[in-house]
Amino acid sequence: MSGQVNALRETHLIRGTHVENRNYKNGALEIIDILEKEYPDARTALSFKTPLELLVSTVLSAQCTDERVNKVTEDLFQKYRSAEDYAQADLSELEEEIRPTGFFRNKAKAIKAFSAVLAERYNGEVPSSLEALVFLPGIGRKTANLVLSEVFGIPGIVVDTHVLRLSKLIGLTGNTDATKVEFDLMEIIPREKWRLFSNLLILHGRAVCIARRPRHQDCRIVDLCEAGIRWKNEKLA
Nearest-angstrom CA–CA distance, 191 and 210 = 27
- DSSP-based three-state secondary structure for 168: helix
The question of whether 218 is a catalytic residue gets the answer: no
Q: What is the DSSP code string of 51-111? A: HHHHHHHHHHTTTS-HHHHHHHHHHHHHH--SHHHHHTS-HHHHHHHHGGGS-HHHHHHHH
Residue 15: phi, psi to the nearest 5? -125, 115
Which one is catalytic: 75, 109, 112, 142? Answer: 142
How far is residue 112 CA from its own chain's centroid? Answer: 23
In angstroms, the CA 99 to CA 34 distance is 38
Q: With contact defined as beta carbons under 8 Å apart, do 195 and 209 qualify?
A: no
Give 14's strand partners.
Answer: 19
| Single-letter residue type at 79 | K
In the 8-state DSSP scheme, what is residue 15? E
160 belongs to the catalytic site = yes
Catalytic residue among 160, 168, 184, 193: 160
CA dist list (Å): 224 to 32, 102, 135, 145, 195: 11, 36, 38, 26, 20
What Rg value do the Cα atoms of the chain yield, rounded? Answer: 19
**Residues assigned a catalytic role:** 142, 160
